[in-house]
Amino acid sequence: MNNDWKPGASSDVLHHRAQLLRIMRDFFAGRSVLEVSTPVLGRHGASDLHLVNVVVTDGSSRLYLQTSPEYAMKRLVAAGSGPIFQICPAFRGRESGRRHNLEFTMLEWYRPGYRLEELALELTDLLDAVFEAFGFNHGTVARASYRALFESRFGVNPHQASAVQLKELAESEFPGHTAHIIDYGDMGSVNDYLDLLFSMGVEPGLVDPVVVFDYPASQAALATIADVGGEPVARRFEFVWQGVELANGYDELRDAGELSKRFVANNEGRKTRGMPIIEADTRLLAALDALPACAGVAVGVDRLLMLVLGKDTIDEVLSFSDQRI
């Protein structure tokens, strides 16, 4: 008897989901942040080395289901929208598991004129409102740099370590867990080792809510890179709770030349790995000159719901997860 026509989320969970979305909308309404809707379908995909675009066709041309609303929302901000937020579906190919679903719900917002620290505080305020509504009380949220966490666990500075050093560290700390990493001798491979070490050695220990900031420059994506204590770091943060990454915030890159270079570097890495090339989004590049200094952050809504309801799988907080479509 097949029961997979039924939703994964119980009626209770569906009500909590609606409550969570209401809390978010009320929060932004109270701060005069405008709710917007941007296309889920785009002519360009994301070129990040580790994002698999879901590609669709309209019968004649190739279109991409957006991995996040980032490009379109930045164009709105560049056009003078002021602070905006959006709650929308996002799609990432080959991401399916206990905490991942091919299609998921993202909350993303942009704050012109905000510094990254201010945005992190606003995120914390929002999460406090959510935690309170769902009966959690955490007190203050800790802050820690990526480097401090990495060093206290492994005794190695992640910003200075060589690829060889990281590889040896990964092999000695997690024997049997490095076989999947292919060393292409580029920054992508350095990142693979950093990610393995951080996600297996550091993240599971981050049980209490913490904002992790100043990521390795090689993981800047669309964030600015700044010099901190003589080391280039990506001006990014992640919010981690119960060992789970819940949000990802950037001090947004506004230099079109630098962004073009990163797109090219991404595609070189994609080529090396036999992945499809993603053409640069020229409309985004054109908009960057007009983009005011701003910070933006994305929150995984389904995961947040999972954690506040104490659910083990994302399937339990979605109407119909990958297993049921």
Task: Check residue 99 for interaction with other proteins (CB under 8 A).
Answer: yes
| Residue 224: how many other CB atoms lie within 10 Å | 19
Between 165 and 313, CB nearer to other proteins: 313
Task: Check residue 238 for interaction with other proteins (CB under 8 A).
Answer: yes
In whole angstroms, the minimum distance from the beta carbon of 280 to other proteins comes to 19
CA distance 118 to 111: 9
Between 1 and 179, CB nearer to other proteins: 179
Task: Check residue 95 for interaction with other proteins (CB under 8 A).
Answer: yes
Task: Check residue 183 for interaction with other proteins (CB under 8 A).
Answer: no
Task: Check residue 177 for interaction with other proteins (CB under 8 A).
Answer: yes
For residue 130, what is the enclosing H or E element?
A: helix 116-133
Task: Check residue 278 for interaction with other proteins (CB under 8 A).
Answer: no
CA distance 10 to 8: 7
In whole angstroms, the minimum distance from the beta carbon of 67 to other proteins comes to 12
Task: Check residue 205 for interaction with other proteins (CB under 8 A).
Answer: no
CA distance 266 to 166: 21
In whole angstroms, the minimum distance from the beta carbon of 176 to other proteins comes to 5
Task: Check residue 30 for interaction with other proteins (CB under 8 A).
Answer: no
φ, ψ (nearest 5 deg) of residue 202: -105, -55
Task: Check residue 181 for interaction with other proteins (CB under 8 A).
Answer: yes
Cβ-Cβ contacts under 8 Å for 234 (sequence gap 6 or more): 214, 215, 216, 217, 218, 219, 220, 221, 223, 224, 225
Helices of type H across 45-87:
70-78
In whole angstroms, the minimum distance from the beta carbon of 308 to other proteins comes to 20
CA distance 113 to 176: 46
Cα end-to-end span (Å), the chain: 17
Total residues binding other proteins (CB under 8 A): 31
In whole angstroms, the minimum distance from the beta carbon of 58 to other proteins comes to 27
Instruction: Enumerate binding residues for other proteins (CB under 8 A).
Output: 48-50, 94-100, 174, 176-182, 191-192, 194-196, 198-199, 203, 219, 221, 238, 245, 248
